A and B are shown apart, each in its own frame.
Chain A
Amino acid sequence: MTTDYDDYEAYFRGSLEAKEGRKEELLHLYLQVRDRLGGAIENWLDIGCGEGNFLQVLHGQGVSATGIELDAELAKQGREAGYDVFCGDALTSVERMVQEGRRFQVVSLLHLIEHMETNDAVELLRLISHIQSPKGCCVVQTPNVKDRRVLLESFYRDPTHLRPYPPRLIEYLMKATGYPQVESLEFDRWVADREESIAEVRAERKRKYDAIKRLLRDAEEILGKA
């Protein structure tokens, strides 16, 4: 590939507003994970941390955060910002951490595995399971290919994406690599959690629609007689 990936990033994701919006999403993600783990998070490893946006968010929440980044320049930026960032390939870096006996309560891979072939992704997940604290948590975020806009356009806009990972495949891979409890945070899950309240809202709206129909029927009848 002759095009510089930095140029691609700058072209598609470079705006300040986009970065701030992304940080809000990351904070929301942190809060979701924290709520599920039921308390303060001891430490967090972010694989593919880039220039350290998520590390910044985690530091802001008082979490001890470490990053791994393949791109030397981005890793350097992260270190210069004061974060603990390792520069290197994800598989090699995590393998070394396994050997060193490092442990992390939470490990995140945000928009990373779609840049990997399936075998490498499986191997990485397997290695990660060896550096997790007991009852630890692995967070995988990837483009949601159940969204047609993503599948038909944005996923293939990035020339370094190797393959999409559908939700069911990720769930299967995580279970197969040592994570028996797998939870998807996609929209369908949100709907399922609130099925009861949604049913109530639907029933209330149906009542209102019926009332409107009655009123219109009455008006039609009265005008018909007149």
Chain B
Amino acid sequence: MTRSSGFSATPKKSWGKRKAVPSNYAIMLKMELREAKFRSLSQERKARELVNGLESRVQSLQEQLKEELRLSKESSASIEAEVGAVKRDFASKASMQEEGERRDRALRALMEAIAAVCELTNELEKAHRELESLKPGKNLTTLGRME
């Protein structure tokens, strides 16, 4: 009998110290244990792979999110710039409209003044003609009356 493997087909009976003899059950347990270890390692590897995959996926999503955030910020800045431009344009147009109204008022005042000048000129011409027609001019006529 060899003790190299620790097991023998017929375990020796001893009254003294009883030497552990692997039973079939123990063997079976060992084998189960090994299988369990093996499954555990396999599952661990799979779990690790899964974790790694998930971590990678999370990282990718984080990067994607960062990019989306950056793009969103850029877009927001662009929109704000456009809004600012529209506001400035509106203010400019309002200013132009106000200036146009002032010029309109000035033009109306000028037109009224010109019309008044024309009317007055016509009156003066008419008066001048009347005076010319009434003026004896070349002749002096004197009336002497008896008492």
Contacts and interface: CB of A to CB of B under 8 A. Distances in A.
Interface of A: 25, 29, 32-33, 36, 125, 129, 132-147, 149-150, 154, 167, 170-171, 174-175, 178-187, 190, 201, 205, 208-209, 211-212, 215-216, 218-219, 222-223, 225-226
- Judged by DSSP, the binding face of B is helix
B117 A219 contact: no
Contact of B138 (A29, A154, A179, A211): A154
21 contacts: A135-B147, A137-B146, A138-B145, A141-B140, A143-B139, A143-B140, A147-B137, A149-B138, A150-B138, A154-B138, A171-B142, A182-B142, A182-B143, A182-B144, A185-B136, A185-B142, A186-B141, A187-B134, A218-B109, A222-B103, A226-B102
Interface size, B (range):
20 to 34
Nearest to A133: B146
B136 A136 contact: no
B116 interface: yes
Given A140-B144, A144-B139, A215 B106 contact: no
A181 B147 contact: yes
Contact of A179 (B107, B123, B127, B145): B145
Most buried by A among B103, B105, B120, B141: B141
B143 A219 contact: no
B61 to A, nearest CB: 61
Interface string B102-114: 1101110110110
B13 interface: no
B135 interface: yes
B143 A36 contact: yes
B138 A147 contact: yes
